[in-house]
Amino acid sequence: MVMKSKKEVQGDTEGERAQQKKANEAKKLRLSGKNKAEKDPGIPNNWPLKEQELKTLEARRTKAIEELEQNKAERKERLNE
C-alpha cells in the first residue's frame, strides 16, 4: 500500500482562503452604509433666508407627523368597524 503525500492528506487551503476572502468582502459591502440614513447637512449660518427655510422645514415636519397620525387613526377606525 502506497502512502499519500502529506500535501494530499492535509489539502491545499488556498481555495478556502479565497472563498473566505470573497465572503468577507461581500459581507463588508452588505453592511457598509446601505442601512445608514444619510445625515442632513443642515443650513449654513451665512444662508440669507435661513430663518424662513427653518420655518418651512418645521412646517413640513409637523404636516408629515399630522398626516401619519391621521392615517393611523383611520386605520384604527377601519379595524373597529
Is the pTM higher than 0.85? no
pLDDT at 3 over 90: no
- Say if residues 53 and 41 touch (Cβ distance below 8 Å): no
24, 18 Cβ separation under 8 angstroms: no
Residue of 38, 57, 37, 61 lying closest to 49 (CA atoms): 57
pLDDT in tens, 6-59: 665 556 677 888 899 999 998 888 776 666 677 878 888 898 999 999 999 999
Beta carbons of 43 and 50 less than 8 angstroms apart: yes
**20 within 8 A of 31, measured Cβ to Cβ:** no
Helices marked H in the chain — which ranges?
Answer: 6-10, 14-31, 50-80
Each domain of the chain, given as residue ranges in start order, spans: 49-80
